[in-house]
Structure 1
Amino acid sequence: MNVTLQVDATPSASALFLRPWNDGDVEPLVEAYRDPTLRRWAGPPVESIEDAVEWLELQRCGWATGERLSFAVHEGHSGTVEGRLAGNVVMKRTGPSHESAEVGYWTAAHARGQGVAPRALEALTSWAFDVFAGVGLKRLDLLHQVDNLASCRVAEKARYGFHQVLPARPPFPRDGHLHIRRADTPA
């Protein structure tokens, strides 16, 4: 599936361009993962070119199976020139039911605090509900550890309502929050 999503610029934020990850993302991915905050919340670690190649292969396999639809988020887009890597958004379809899926995201250090995560998540959410409505997608779940306050703010900005606290279980050392967005959530 060759999918690209664009998010218009706002007076305070640059445009975003989302597309499936590719081999040109190896070095920017390694650079993004040098950030200790990103490594704290996102796994598995990407510490080398080899790790990045492996990570990108997982993303390609996810697209091939339809189980993990992951987008590289780039700042700005002009013609065919992408801006700097700003983050990642992903939709994971792991269960037998097509009624729900899970979303996740991370933001590169240089792009934090600029609205990248909520805007990219909103684009992914709209796309997912449009594309997968025919197979019954009605709900997207967003999970994060309770102490990840930035993720809680992103969820709220992208209209994922808090649903419940989930108990800690491996690989998560702390309790988590479950936020939910339904296909019929008003704008």
Structure 2
Amino acid sequence: MSILLRAPATPVAPELLLRPWCGGDVEALLVAYRDPVLLNWTRNPVTTRGEARAFVRRSRQGWAAGCRFSFAVLEPTDTGERLVAHVLLKEVTPGRPYAEVGYWTAAPARGRGVAPRAVDAVSAWAFARFAAAGLTRLELLHQVDNPASCRVAQKSGYAFAEVLPARPPFPRDGHRHVRHRP
């Protein structure tokens, strides 16, 4: 897959590159999921090489099916690139006016504006790519006890819409944030 998105550099942060996950990302994925904070917020942890390979395989299957688009978010380093985040566009269905965006940020990248820039890049891509299929709204959901996700939503153009009641598999109420196609 040749999809490559870019989130522009800022005065304090380098440009981000966003691309579909590939087999070479397995080790970086395992490192990212060693973070207890990430493990706390995820429903499907990646703790073994087999789980990491399955994550990449499901990502590629979602792209092939045209309904779920996972991006590895990379930051340039002196020796190449390092994984700093993941952004996902899911539940894309032709004729359906909305889809959902999800994300996580690797521990070393938190607090540096990585997530808002990456979520914004995927959101802009989604509206451009799926406008003809009827996409007019993106939603970002998170639990109420995750204020960092609330800030990411706001910084990436998602307005708070409502509180959602807890429902399995989520043990706490949540927030729905919404961004409309420009």
TM-score (ref. length: structure 2): 0.95
Q: CA RMSD in A?
A: 1.5
Report if aligned partners of 2:4, 2:19 keep a CA contact under 8 Å in 1.
Answer: yes
Counterparts in 2 of 1:16-165, with a 5 A limit? Answer: 16-76=16-76, 82-93=80-91, 97-165=95-163
Aligned partner letter, 2:104: W
Aligned partner letter, 1:171: P
Q: 1:15 to 1:146 in 2, by over 3 A?
A: same
Report if aligned partners of 2:144, 2:175 keep a CA contact under 8 Å in 1.
Answer: yes
Report if aligned partners of 1:33, 1:45 keep a CA contact under 8 Å in 2.
Answer: yes
Q: Paired residue for 1:169?
A: 167
Aligned partner letter, 1:68: R
| Stretches of structure 1 lacking an aligned partner (at least 5 in a row) | none
2:177 is aligned with 1:179: yes
Look up the SS of the partner of 1:71 in the other structure: strand
Displacement after TM superposition at 1:43 (Å)? 2.7
Displacement after TM superposition at 1:57 (Å)? 1.0
Aligned partner letter, 1:53: R
Displacement after TM superposition at 1:112 (Å)? 0.4
Query: Partners in 2 of 1:47 and 1:105 — Cα distance?
Result: 18
Displacement after TM superposition at 1:6 (Å)? 1.1
Displacement after TM superposition at 1:76 (Å)? 2.5
Aligned partner letter, 2:133: V
Query: Partners in 1 of 2:80 and 2:172 — Cα distance?
Result: 37
Look up the SS of the partner of 1:172 in the other structure: coil
| Stretches of structure 2 lacking an aligned partner (at least 5 in a row) | none
Aligned partner letter, 2:73: V
Aligned partner letter, 2:96: H
Query: Partners in 1 of 2:67 and 2:93 — Cα distance?
Result: 9
> What does the per-residue CA deviation read over 1:43-77, in whole Å, with 9 as the maximum and x for residues that have no partner?
30100111101111111111111121000000138
Taking only the aligned residue pairs, the percentage that are identical comes to 55
